[in-house]
Amino acid sequence: MPDGRCPSHDELADYLAKALAEDVAARIRAHLDACAECRGTLEALGHGRRLPSMSAADAPVFESLGEYELVEKLGAGGMGTVYKAWHTELERMVALKVLSEDQMQDQRAVARFRREMKAVGRFDHPNIVRAHDAREIDGTYFLVMEYVDGMDLAELVARVGPLPVADACHLVRQAALGLQCAAEHGMVHRDIKPSNLILAADGQLKILDLGLARIHTVGPVAEAMTAVGQVMGTPDYMAPEQVSDSHAVDIRADVYSLGCTLYMLLAGHPPFVGSQYSTALEKMIAHSRDPVPPIRRIRPEVPKQLATVLERTLAKSPDQRPTRPGQLAAASGAAAHAARRSARRCRGGHRDRRRGDHAPDSGVFGPTDRTVRASLGRAAGHSRGGGTRRAHPGGGRFRRKSRRQRQSANRRHRQNQRGKEQRKGGWE
């Protein structure tokens, strides 16, 4: 946990029942990885049940599927189970998602799965996890995707806390570029959230489960259902119009969910948290009715321009949001650039009184998170030029030297050259 304390029995019981918000569950999951006592308590609470989402992966149900040898279990969800697998023919690691048995028995779900995989197979974008194969073997339907060695953004925030402004904006920019590609192919993700955005070790962010979200539903909770039918998405990041009719939403619902994700990266939690938003229904109602708490109330150093962009992205009405993810990508990229420039004006991590920003070394990252910090550094690095220029100390702009300054510099250079020749004995 962030304050070092162990979670209470009630919190562990809620975690076991999967009744906690995603950010809280991620923090408890990170704590369980390091605390053997809490793992034992959780096992006792579960009466011997295996812990969900622990780092020690469960043994796979199958040893192999065709040319794919299953290595270990990576995770499980409503759609099925994801395994790390070895492609014996191509000799490379892949991620293999096997549909759950109840989905396999539903012919409509299988038909939609096949239809969606044909659409996802057309994507070739650096910010979308690529699909390599999708088929059925002996009644088992599975999808083969590229294996990404990294961590999702929910786990990242659970480890290091709220991210610096420039890093958060740059990561959201990459996600928005991937969504723009999906929108151009007529696709809507419908379940954008930090755990569906994975940051690779080389700093590349990729969107997970594009297409599968169309048939992914919230668990069988009565309060999460509407008269229309199934509710698709995650309550913490769900657009207001997605609550009433998940099948009629467009790409602006993904823009809203990505705005909630940016809010979480900056604040450390989704927009609506607290005892008054303890259930899925209360969270969905809040997205439709309650104003989002201003981000600058939580992070005063967030630039006003970025706060305005975030406020527009989280508008209740789709007509008031950016119409395309590309617009959010452009705004996030500009905000990341401005935040980096402002941070370079700071010295030693101190606050710049004129701008109110903090330097990147302001203590957000701990000494044990060097790998995470390196990944974020690569993610937030400059994409052009290969380096940075030192700004002028008097205001951050590059200024041309005066004629007298140039003459003095040339004179000092000639004097230094003569001194070197004298020391070498070459002066005549």
| Domain contains 398 | no
Residue 250 backbone dihedrals phi, psi, to 5 degrees: -120, -165
pLDDT of residue 193: 94
Q: Are 103 and 191 members of one domain?
A: no
Among 112, 146, 180, identify where a domain stops. Answer: 146
191 is catalytic: yes
Q: Are 205 and 312 members of one domain?
A: yes
CATH number of the domain enclosing 317:
1.10.510.10
Catalytic residue among 14, 23, 152, 191: 191
| Domain contains 415 | no
Count of beta carbons in the 10 Å neighbourhood of residue 111: 11
Q: Are 6 and 141 members of one domain?
A: no
Q: What is the pLDDT of residues 46-103, one digit of tens each?
A: 543 334 443 444 455 567 888 999 988 887 766 678 889 999 988 899 998 888 777 7
Among 146, 181, 212, identify where a domain stops. Answer: 146
Q: Indicate if the pLDDT at residue 304 is higher than 50.
A: yes
| Domain contains 120 | yes
| Domain contains 159 | yes
pLDDT of residue 22: 77
Write out the residue range of the structural domain in which residue 107 sits: 64-146
Q: What is the pLDDT of residues 110-158, one digit of tens each?
A: 776 776 677 667 788 999 998 888 888 888 888 898 999 889 999 999 9
Q: What is the pLDDT of residues 313-327, one digit of tens each?
A: 999 999 999 999 999
Q: Are 182 and 114 in contact (CB under 8 A)?
A: no
Q: Are 136 and 153 members of one domain?
A: no
Record the tokens describing residue 45, joined without a space: 């609470």
| Domain contains 249 | yes
Q: Are 156 and 197 members of one domain?
A: yes
| Domain contains 328 | yes
| Domain contains 423 | no
Q: Are 95 and 168 members of one domain?
A: no
Arithmetic mean of pLDDT, 351-362? 40
Is residue 348 packed enough to be buried (19+ CB in 10 Å), middle (13-18) or exposed (0-12)?
exposed
In the chain, the number of structural domains is 3
Q: Are 142 and 179 in contact (CB under 8 A)?
A: no
pLDDT of residue 357: 42
Q: What is the pLDDT of residues 4-31, one digit of tens each?
A: 678 876 777 777 766 677 778 888 888 8
> Mean pLDDT, the chain, as a whole number?
76
- Of 336 and 308, the structure prediction assigns the larger pLDDT to 308
| Domain contains 83 | yes
- Of 44 and 349, the structure prediction assigns the larger pLDDT to 44
The pTM is what?
0.66
CA 318 centroid distance within chain = 23
